[in-house]
Amino acid sequence: MSTERERREILIATIADLLDGIRHVAVGASSPIPAAGAMLLRARNELCGKPPVRISILGSQAHNFFTNGGVELFDCAAQGRVDAFFLGGGQIDGHGNINLVGTGDYPTTSVRWPGSFGSAYLYHLIPRVILFREEHSPRVFVPQVDFVSARAITPEIPRRGGPHALLTNMALFDFDREAGGFSLRSVHPPFTPADIRENTGFAYQEPDVVRETPRPDAATLALLRGRIFDELAETYPAFARTMKQAA
Amino acid sequence: MTEIVALEALAARVTPGQSLAIPVDGSGVAMAATAALLETGIRDLKLICVPISGMQADLLIGAGRIASIETSAVSLGEAGAAPRFTAGVKNGAFTMRDSTCPAIYAGLLAAQKGVPFMPIAGIIGSDLLNVRPDWQVIDSPVGEARKVVVVPAISPDVALFHTPEADRAGNVRIGRHRELADLAYASKRTLVTVERIVDRNLLDSEDSAAGVLPSLYVDSIAVATGGAWPLALWDEYPADEAEIARYAAMARSEDGFRAYLSAFLTHRKQVA
């Protein structure tokens, strides 16, 4: 993983793999890598004759079919029509809870982030929520978040939604809803399991043998560097341009 | 009847202490009207972002014009954090009412239907319930026994947004941006700025009527060419990314913000 472009390509291809089997994925604002992952899945399914995938990219005209205003994504999720979504967090804890509000004492938090967006609601309703946060550090991955924007597990009420996986610049974790915690699935080259231990502030399960996250194959790379970055340019022109220039 | 007035007259319809509902970036943000509103010396606004805001909220916050803000987030998007919002929260410069996007739509829907509250899925387990004592968790009164969150109706005093066009009768084209109708239905008054007034009646054809907010819900209209700048307006014009990035950089300091604000207000006067 020698360059920034290769780092991003591995994340995009991993996201497409994580989405395999879904019918409809929605992507929130300011999320070029998740959007590219969703587009890659759609293109790949189309090329190998697998069932078509719908994608809804917030902020896009061409890759968004909603006609009922801002509430439609939320209604759609409540109806069970959104299979996958992405959430991040200024802090994410070992129980899968996320904090998009800030650190320190609310409301005059010492560090303030934009706010909870739709997380408190969508986490309950979308079955395959992928937690995506590029920075992998102990200040992000904490034992306990300072503010719970959205809670991963709420045994007191029935829910179909919650975390499915956590993807970072360094590794991919699965989330076990029974155990209520993460387990390390794979580490992106050139990092090692020791790097992950050092940079993760919460406890997680680690298998005896930790796999390396697979690099995208030649066919995937060709698709990515052609069609996908072209499609992405409508919503994320600067990101798509950087990726195409590097290729 | 809907009045068609000058931008300054439209801005003067908002009075100190009122609650003001504004839409998300890209939906149709009335930036020119926001400049005119700042010029009126408006203060103590209770801002309601539907469901989030960016530079518009940050300008009003930085200029010291708001008493409270109800929002699911304030962010400049690709340009990063909203600097005056971030600083204002830390200083306790206004009352912060953190929300989550669908709860704001649910509150507006309650007002639209004339009921005191609206039930909403999810949210349980979130600390938002601790910081929003006006939200309740109740036992569902019907169906299977379960907990459900209810949020109070949101009835803004004023809704303010910008769209490409209105006709002379005051019908406003909102296209697929139905959230603008949600704002108007729930609000006591609706002020709209437009790129242009068209001569044809927007309700005349089935094609155009489907994407129109009837004048019944619209109190005042003013023409403001480029009225969403530097934000995007649908397929009319894209966001001026360089300008937003310039704002993001300058607004990091109080002095930088003052300089930007002064230039922004001057620019708006020149355009008008």
Q: What is the mean pLDDT of residues A102-120?
A: 94
- Residue A184 exposure: Cα atoms within 13 Å on the Cβ side: 26
In chain A, residues 88-107 whose CB comes closer than 8 Å to chain B = 100-102, 106-107
Helix axis angle for B55-62 and B31-39, nearest 10°, is: 10
Asked if B173 and B205 count as a contact pair (C-beta separation under 8 A), the reply is: no
Contact B128 A120 (CB under 8 A): yes
pTM as predicted = 0.96
H runs (alpha helix) in chain A: 4-18, 32-47, 72-78, 119-125, 193-199, 218-223, 229-232, 237-246
Q: Which helix (H) or strand (E) holds A183?
A: strand A181-187
User: What is the rounded distance in angstroms from the CA atom of residue A11 to the CA atom of residue A133?
Assistant: 11
Tokens coding A192: 């090692």
Cβ-based contacts of B23 with chain A (< 8 Å):
70
Greatest alpha-carbon pair distance for chain A in Å reads 53
Q: Residue B52 is nearest to which of A110, A115, A158, comparing CB atoms?
A: A115
User: What is the rounded distance in angstroms from the CA atom of residue B223 to the CA atom of residue B162?
Assistant: 9
ipTM of the shown complex = 0.96
Chain A nearest C-alpha distance from B108 (Å): 11
User: What is the rounded distance in angstroms from the CA atom of residue A14 to the CA atom of residue A37?
Assistant: 8
CB atoms < 10 A from the CB of A187, how many? Answer: 19
Give the CA angle between residues A152, B70, B140 to the nearest 5°: 50
Asked if A24 and A45 count as a contact pair (C-beta separation under 8 A), the reply is: no
Nearest CA in chain A to B96: A107
Q: What is the mean pLDDT of residues A181-187?
A: 98
Give me the tens of pLDDT residue by residue for chain B, a chain 272 residues long: 899 999 999 999 999 999 999 999 999 999 999 999 999 999 999 999 999 999 999 999 999 999 999 999 999 988 899 999 999 999 999 999 999 999 999 999 999 999 999 999 999 999 999 999 999 999 999 999 999 999 999 999 999 999 999 999 999 999 999 999 999 999 999 999 999 999 999 999 998 999 999 999 999 999 999 999 999 999 999 999 999 999 999 999 999 999 999 999 998 888 76
Q: Checking phi first, is residue A167 left (phi over 0); if not, alpha (psi -120 to 50) or beta?
A: beta
Tokens coding B72: 């699911």
Rounded (10°) CA dihedral A198, A199, A201, A204 = -70
Place of tokens 């972002």: B49
Cβ-based contacts of B124 with chain A (< 8 Å):
124, 151, 154, 156-157
Query: CA nearest A167: which of A123, A202, A214, A130?
Result: A130
User: What is the rounded distance in angstroms from the CA atom of residue B52 to the CA atom of residue B116?
Assistant: 23
Q: How many angstroms separate the Cα of B113 from the Cα of each of A70, A94, B109? A: 18, 42, 6
User: What is the rounded distance in angstroms from the CA atom of residue B198 to the CA atom of residue B249?
Assistant: 38
The band of A247, judged by pLDDT with boundaries at 50, 70 and 90, is: low
How high is the pLDDT of residue A2? 52
How high is the pLDDT of residue A1? 40
Q: What is the mean pLDDT of residues A15-20?
A: 98
Cβ-based contacts of B96 with chain A (< 8 Å):
107
Q: Which helix (H) or strand (E) holds B139?
A: strand B136-139
Q: β-strands B158-167, A98-99: how paired?
A: unpaired
Asked if B100 and B128 count as a contact pair (C-beta separation under 8 A), the reply is: yes
Q: Residue B256: CB partners within 8 Å, gap ≥ 6?
A: B249, B250
Q: Residue A236: CB partners within 8 Å, gap ≥ 6?
A: A32, A35
In chain B, residues 99-128 whose CB comes closer than 8 Å to chain A = 99-103, 105, 109, 120-128
Tell which of A116, A148, A154 to mutate to test the B interface (max B CBs under 10 Å). Answer: A116
Q: Residue A39: CB partners within 8 Å, gap ≥ 6?
A: A55, A63, A228, A231, A232
How high is the pLDDT of residue A245? 83
